[in-house]
Structure 1
Amino acid sequence: MSVAVCLLLYGFAVAVLAPRVLRRISASGAAPRIAVAAWVAVMISTLLAWTVTVTIIVVDIGTHKISVLPARFLDTCLLHLHDAAVGHYGRHLQTGLLVLSFFAALAGLVVALRLATTLWRSRRSTIEHARMARLAGRHHPELDAVILDVDHPAAYCVAGKPHTIVVSRGVLTALDDHHLEAVLSHERAHLIGRHHLLLTLTRGLATVLPRIQLFTTGAAEVARLLEMLADDAAARIHGRDTVLQALLTMAALPEQSDTTHAVLRSRVRRLSEPAGPARSHSRAAAVAATLTAMLIPVAALIAAAIGIEVCLT
């Protein structure tokens, strides 16, 4: 039971504190791959902590054997809570705690089902989007992309069967060949790196748990950092200056949303600034955050497994 309370407090503490800390770490984009790992590790560890908490409580109440442990393993509050759950303080309080545990487990199951449904619908929608883009546009064999005859600036990739890179006529008109190749390399990097899987997961969590800032902010930050990862992949092929000039041209195009402009400005600023000590510090902080987010739940899981094994024997 002590492990359950610790995991519960860990999950809530991380959900409250992590967004502010991780945003500072990932703001500069110094180490986008590590920053993405930190965000995903924190989100997964929080869900894992809450899931294990519910599991431990159900096992504890179901076995009714934890009371054989010496009292020194539990503080007075937790010991009284367990005694109430096994009926030492009357059936009414026991029934209330059992009902509360049942609804907690039910809520976890509902969230899991909603997440699975959201991910499945997102996958179906993405495949349909790719199919419609191929039908609406024309395939350019030299670019290996689908060209849409619209003036609205658009260049993006859609994971499907097969994967599709979509470029609008407005982008083709605005960019020269070198810059266009850099943009296409950027989109190919998304597909090669399977970034759509991370986007689907984080956006699914944000959809299912929209009131928890960790997941909503995390989804936006992961999307921004993945753009920077793709920029780095394109820069290794075409050079940093070429990617930067392509971004500057894209940022100058009209009819783009405020969110798109904000992300473009962030990417331009990152490519314009030379690497320095601040980025090294951000990289080290991101590594520390990732390891912390991964090791604490693992340690708690080991403790929980040992505790459950003791209770069942």
Structure 2
Amino acid sequence: MPFTALGLLVLGVVLAEPVSRAFSRASWPRRDPVGALLMWQAIGLAGGLSLIGSGLVFGLSPLGANLAEAVPVLVREWSVARWPAGLDVVHFAALAVAVIVGGRLLWVLTTVSLRTLRARRRHRDLLDVLATPWPDSPGTRVLDHPLPVAYCLPGRSSRLVVSAGVLEALEPEGVWAVLAHERAHLRERHDLVVLPFVAWGATAPFVRGMVCAQLAVAALIEMRADDVAACRSEPNQLVGALRTVGGSAPAAALTSFTDALDARIERISSHPAALSRPRRVLVRLGAIALVAVPTVLLLAP
């Protein structure tokens, strides 16, 4: 078990830092956003399993040859208020760190989820009062504001919102492109895709790789929504809609927002060739294998 713990620790550190940083700079994800999102989820899950699992495996190594043997021993000894033989200070410290990190991650994930749900509920209540249903698009509400703004509010009672400024500034084709983009976010639940990376970033903000992952995933879900919208509208209509809605950001907006918008527009205009089918399959198999490695190491006898 000590060698398994060392292997898990190395894998977790490599995935959290050099792999995450390098992957965030790769160029191929813009040609396959769905595959890249699957790979990011695999990196996050495999990294979490490896880092937390390494502490569990090393901490429990004196109690058995694997976790299946060690965990029952620990439970049995502690159930009778007895300290397990062989569990010294070093192994207990490793076990405690793993439990604390795992608990911290779950706590942050739960807290962020509850906070987000409360904010969405308040926002939804305000929209029901201030916005009016749009007959031309069921499920869409119009906010009486001159600034061109469009967004979605995900959840079981989702809302898709456009401002009066969008309807005035865009032709009907541009409006449908905007709606298709936002509906893609709602249908594919991109909010749930981002949430684990937000939790990881809040748990370990000092790990630069986690910040890179969060930014990369946010960019990829926008690319994916752009691809869906581009299938339902002309590229020039989508580009014009993005310029109109994105250009309405306040003057104090960060330069990174403008850079990201310009990158999306350039991608739509240049029509990058999608990855070949064999490469797409290879990416998905790679994501499955990446999660399988720490899982096997943790569960193998």
Query: Which TM-score applies when normalising by structure 2?
Result: 0.81
Which secondary structure state, in structure 2, belongs to the residue aligned with residue 156 of structure 1? strand
Cα offset, 1:5, TM superposition? 0.7
- Kept in 2, the 8 Å contact 1:140–1:147? The answer is yes
Change in Cα spacing, 1:212 to 1:225, as seen in structure 2 (3 Å) is same
Is the CA contact (8 Å cut-off) linking 1:49 and 1:297 kept in structure 2? no
Over 3 Å counting, the alpha-carbon distance change for 1:132 and 1:62 in structure 2 is farther
Go from structure 1 to structure 2 and tell me whether the alpha carbon gap of 1:95 and 1:58 turns closer, same or farther (over 3 Å shift). closer
Give the secondary structure class of the aligned counterpart of 1:147: strand
Contact 2:59–2:94 (CA under 8 A) maintained in structure 1: no
Q: Does 1:116 align with 2:110?
A: yes
2:209 to 208, 214, 218: 214
Partner of 1:80: none
Please name the residue that 2:239 is paired with: 244
Partner of 2:10: 9
Q: Matches of 1:273 and 1:235 in 2, distance apart?
A: 12
Bigger mean CA deviation after superposition, 117-126 or 267-276: 117-126
Query: Cα 1:232–1:132, aligned 2, differ >3 Å: closer, same or farther?
Result: same
Distance apart, 1:31 and its partner CA: 0.9
SS of the aligned residue for 1:151 comes to: coil
Match of 1:272 in 2: 269
Residue 259 of structure 2 corresponds to residue 298 of structure 1 = no
Provide the residue aligned with 1:138 in structure 2: 132
Whichever residue aligns with residue 169 of structure 1, its letter is A
What is the CA distance between 1:50 and its match in structure 2? 1.5
Q: Deviations over 1:231-257 (max 9, x none)?
A: 111111123232122223334445263
- The CA distance in 2 between the partners of 1:21 and 1:267, in whole Å, is 20
Greater shift, 217-226 or 147-156, is seen at 147-156
Distance 1:296 1:249, change over 3 A: closer
Counterpart in 1 of 2:70? none
Deviations 1:152-189 (A, max 9, x none): 33211001342101112222222111101110111111
Residue pair 1:153, 1:168 contacting (<8 A) in 2 also: yes
Q: Normalization by structure 1: what TM-score? A: 0.78
CA shift at 1:304, angstroms? 3.5
Q: Distance in 2 between matches of 1:107 and 1:44?
A: 14
CA contact (8 A) 1:180 1:246 kept: yes
The verdict on how the C-alpha distance between 1:197 and 1:107 changes in structure 2, with shifts beyond 3 A counting, is closer
Residue 227 of structure 1: how far off its partner (Å): 1.1
Q: How far off its partner does 1:287 sit?
A: 6.5
Supply the AA of the counterpart residue of 1:231.
D
Larger radius of gyration: 1
After TM superposition, the structure 1 stretch with the greater mean CA deviation from structure 2, 194-203 or 294-303, is 294-303
Segments of 4+ in structure 1 off by > 6 A? none
Q: Deviations over 1:169-225 (max 9, x none)?
A: 222222111101110111111111111211223223222332222322212211211
- The equivalent of 2:173 in structure 1 is 178
RMSD between aligned alpha carbons?
2.7
Residue segments in structure 2 that go unaligned for 5+ positions in a row: 67-84
Q: Contact 1:34–1:290 at 8 Å: present in 2 too?
A: yes
The aligned runs of 1:57-136 (5 Å cut-off) are 57-63=58-64, 86=86, 94-136=88-130
User: Larger deviation: 120-129 or 190-199?
Assistant: 120-129
Contact 1:182–1:243 (Cα < 8 Å) also in 2: yes
2 CA distance for matches of 1:150 and 1:32?
33
